[in-house]
Amino acid sequence: MQFPTTLIPGKLIRRYKRFLADVELNDGTVVLAHCTNSGSMKSCIEAGAPVYLSPANDPKRKTQFTWEMIFINHNWVGINTSMPNLLVFEAVRDGKIPGLNQYKHVQREVTFSDSRFDVFAQNNQEQCFIEVKNVTMKVGDEALFPDAATIRGLKHLRTLMEVKKAGIRAVMFYVIQRRDITSFGPAKDIDPAYAAALKEAIESGVEVFAYMAEVNPTGIELSKKLPIKI
């Protein structure tokens, strides 16, 4: 997946109020950028670190830039939480993910019960609901999710279990937007309820995919499947 516009380089001054970040551009101008990541962003915040922003197309938007990535631990880390949804949608649509490459019809944002899932796919044999989560936190060489307690994430797991119970394929897909990790697992110390629900979901038949993504200023691509440690 390529960025539709050329990204703008700068360095992070601070992130605050969850959704805002002050960034100094290379010419010294300080701009306000929107941060789509509502989590704590543990292990991917560092004042003075290089960042890239995308310009907003809407002149009426209060923030004219979106924060896309930050350079941490000698790697770019993607922090835009909307990118994994599109990335997985395109990969499933184009048949690029083994195990999810057999669907003829793929669409975004489809509702089941009281939850709206990121991707819905189907063929003549089956239907499949896919929920996508962005992962940026690492401890040691393991990527962990979530980086803050998530009621919404827990709800999605519960609904995926309902999907499976209804005889429909259910998939939880984690996209880790960084390369300095070797495995994925739930952040048990941060959200034990989510960790327990993930284990329950797997036992009930919900499938879990965890993929590392290659992030750079021109685009983002899924690279390799990671082992999952529950």
Domain spans of the chain?
Answer: 8-78, 83-225
pTM exceeds 0.85 for this model: yes
N-term to C-term CA, the chain:
30
Taking residue 85's Cβ as centre, other Cβ atoms within 10 Å add up to 21
**Rounded-to-integer distance, Cα 133 and Cα 41, Å:** 14
User: Who wins on pLDDT, 11 or 113?
Assistant: 11
Q: Decide: 178 and 215 in contact? Cβ < 8 Å.
A: yes
Closest by Cα among 55, 82, 162, 74 to 114: 162
At residue 73, the pLDDT reads 87
At residue 1, the pLDDT reads 87
CATH class of 83-225: alpha beta
pLDDT in tens, 157-196: 999 999 999 999 999 999 999 999 999 999 999 999 999 9
Average pLDDT of span 92-118: 94
Closest by Cα among 171, 78, 166 to 118: 171
pLDDT in tens, 13-72: 999 998 999 999 999 999 999 999 988 898 899 999 999 999 988 777 889 999 999 999
**Rounded-to-integer distance, Cα 156 and Cα 103, Å:** 22
CATH class of 8-78: mainly beta
User: Who wins on pLDDT, 62 or 150?
Assistant: 150
